[in-house]
Amino acid sequence: MIKRIIISGGGTGGHIYPAVAIANALKEVNPDIEILFVGALGKMEMEKVPKAGYHIIGLPIAGIKRELTLDNLAFPFKLIKSLLKAKSVIKDFAPDAAVGVGGYASGPLLMIASFLGIPTLIQEQNSYAGITNKLLSKWAKKICVAYPGMEVFFPHEKIKLLGNPVRSDILEVESKRDKALLHFGFKSTGKTLFVMGGSLGARSVNESVLKGLKRLAEGGYQVLWQTGKGFIDTASAAIKSLNTDQIKAYEFIYEMDLAYAVADVVISRAGALSVSELCLAAKPAILVPFPAASEDHQTKNAMSLVSQNAAIMIKDSSAAEELISTALDLLNNPERQQELIENIRPLARPTAAADIAREVLSLSDSPIV
């Protein structure tokens, strides 16, 4: 009998790519398994998931904004429509289990799945649980987490500490360095800084890099800069004015394994996915947590590394003055780089995706009540 699994959630790369990693791991265990994604209409999962080779259905769900808006007034109607759509999808697909990775769509989908007797699993990426996952935890059969101490959010008997699932191509990136240099057009003798602000970009990080771009160019450093959609034109114009071919800006980088492979130092936000990838890639990192993240969870993510002397953290409010100077210091300090590498490598969980896939499959073998 062919297994059917629904995976729901999204909104950002931090939710989407773990979901895809779980799907890929499930396919590795059982190539015949049928996987359906459910996301939120208009969100990036509707583009990224099909590119990963999976079918996705969108729900009309949206979040509640903190300020009073007309969109908030429409929320109850969107929620009801999403619940009805989720019920229809589940009835049609008849899944053996449902997985939620966080994000708007996972709420209605997992709620209906639970009410219909479908066993559910939650995968919480962050050190501070999201609202949706906290609400869903009472019905979930299992809750897979990436950080210890999550008993403050979830029933301890349901928790599995397995790490965050990341793309398998992040493993062994050092063997890809020559390929990465050729792909991005960098010199093997240059010191390379990789700047990533997450799938949607990061304004304070981008503006700090822009401010220090001339120093980087004059110092002969190579820069690989993922800007996000909103900053690519500004970055491209600034690079053109410096007349250098050793600073490259991209709206989005799909070849993340090559980006890590080419990097000597990485500047990054502290989303859960980025932190997990940095551990696997074992790269010296400067983390700039996004201060508006719910319950400041990115600072908590960053501190999980900083407390182990495995990364450097700079506050968002200090980035404009400190980020580039800190990056230059680290680029020119191979001893400090090696120290960070040695301390971050043991924090990696390379089998997380496979471990979570096994938990999902064990759920799908459970009798439906």
Q: At what angle do helices 334-344 and 319-331 cross, to 10 degrees?
A: 100
Asked if residue 67 belongs to a known ligand binding site, the reply is no
Which residue type occupies 236? Answer: S
Query: Residue 145 annotated as binding?
Result: no
Both tokens of 321, joined, read 């003055």
Q: Is 275 annotated as a binding residue?
A: yes
What is d(CA 323, CA 205) in angstroms, rounded to the nearest whole number? 8
To the question of whether residue 125 is assigned a binding role by annotation, the answer is no
Helix (H, G, I), strand (E, B) or coil at 135: helix
Is the CA virtual torsion 294, 49, 356, 162 positive or negative? Answer: negative
| Stretch (H or E) spanning 247 | strand 247-250
Bridge pairing between strands 97-100 and 55-59: unpaired
Is 206 known to sit in a ligand binding site?
A: no
Is 298 annotated as ligand-binding?
yes
On whether 13 is known to bind a ligand per the annotation, the reply is: yes
Q: Is 94 exposed, middle or buried (0-12, 13-18, 19+ CB in 10 A)?
A: exposed
Q: Is 12 annotated as a binding residue?
A: yes
Q: What are phi and psi of 33, to 5 degrees?
A: -65, 140
Nearest in space to 192 (alpha carbons), one of 238, 261, 244: 261
Long-range contact set of residues 168-174: C-beta below 8 Å, sequence gap at least 24:
168/21, 168/24, 168/353, 169/256, 169/257, 170/256, 170/257, 170/260, 170/277, 170/280, 170/281, 171/280, 171/350, 173/257, 173/258, 173/260, 173/261, 173/281, 174/261
Cα–Cα dist 28/205, whole Å = 37
Q: Is 253 within any annotated ligand binding site?
A: yes
Is residue 272 annotated as involved in ligand binding? Answer: yes
Residue 126 counted as an annotated binding residue: yes
Which residue is associated with the tokens 């996972």?
Answer: 106
Amino acid (1-letter code) at residue 80: I
Q: How far apart are CA 38 and CA 6, in angstroms?
A: 7
Q: Which residues are annotated as a binding site for UDP-N-acetyl-alpha-D-glucosamine?
A: 12-14, 126, 167, 199, 253, 272-277, 298
Return binding residues: 12-14, 126, 167, 199, 253, 272-277, 298
